[in-house]
A = this chain, B = another copy of it.
Amino acid sequence: MYTYKYPHPAVTTDCVVFGFDGSNLNLLLIERGIEPFKGKWALPGGFMNMDETAEQGAMRELQEETSIKDIYIEQFHTFTSVKRDPRERVLTIAFLAFIRQEKYEVIAGDDAAKAQWFPIDQLPELAFDHKDIITMALDKLKWKITYEPIAFRLLNKTFTMTQVQTIYEVVLGQTFDRRNFHKKMTALGYIIPTEMQSRGSGRPGTLFTFDEDKYKEQIENKKVF
């Protein structure tokens, strides 16, 4: 038992992990193996330990529940509604992640009965206020993708221009002219062409890479206004 002079809330972390399978934007969810909301789907996450930061806690829970580790996560909002957990006062620090879906095998563990990907437009009923968290994460994703090169976190090291375009179209819910999109992306300067690839019918597309160093150089030197 732990005793405090004043009441303290419990603190959890939750990860909104986005994945891309070539045509759909997906979200990684776990089925809860324990109460409350046992049997309901939820974001991977759990209680933070006293000797770890929120980031560390989020990554630990993610690994325990889905076996995914060594990914980049980014804090985006802390949810503090008073009655968001039926047990006691719990606030949750929510994180965003974008991963190469096929690179990681998802294996349920710990308190998670199952762990699986869901298309973003076919989510099951969710535990707690996780629906709200996902809604805000999606808004954040739309905002971020227009200003930062996060699409490449969802893709393999090499990718075709069509794949990039598909992500932008799926995330933003609109279509773009293939030729202008191509021009705009290559004009950015940090999308580097590599070899060719043939896969099925049609002319084989160039494979591109995202050059992180070149990107960082640019944001150093850019004018804000």
Residues in A lying within 8 Å of B, measured CB to CB: 1-11, 47-48, 50-55, 75, 77-78, 80-82, 88-89, 91, 93, 142, 146, 168, 172, 174, 176, 223-225
Q: Is chain A's binding surface mostly helix, strand, loop or mixed? A: loop
Nearest-neighbor residue (CB-CB) of A76 within chain B: B77
Looking at the complex, which one of B1, B54, B81 makes contact with A5 (CB distance below 8 Å)? B1
CB neighbours of A4 from chain B (8 A): 1-4, 8, 10, 88
Looking at the complex, which one of B75, B80, B88, B224 makes contact with A77 (CB distance below 8 Å)? B75
Most buried by B among A3, A8, A10, A142: A8
Identify 30 residue pairs between A and B in the complex whose beta-carbon atoms are under 8 Å apart, listed by A's number: A2-B6, A2-B7, A3-B3, A3-B4, A4-B4, A4-B8, A4-B10, A6-B10, A6-B47, A7-B50, A8-B10, A9-B11, A9-B48, A11-B11, A11-B91, A53-B80, A53-B82, A54-B78, A54-B80, A55-B80, A75-B78, A78-B78, A78-B93, A142-B224, A146-B224, A146-B225, A172-B224, A172-B225, A174-B224, A174-B225
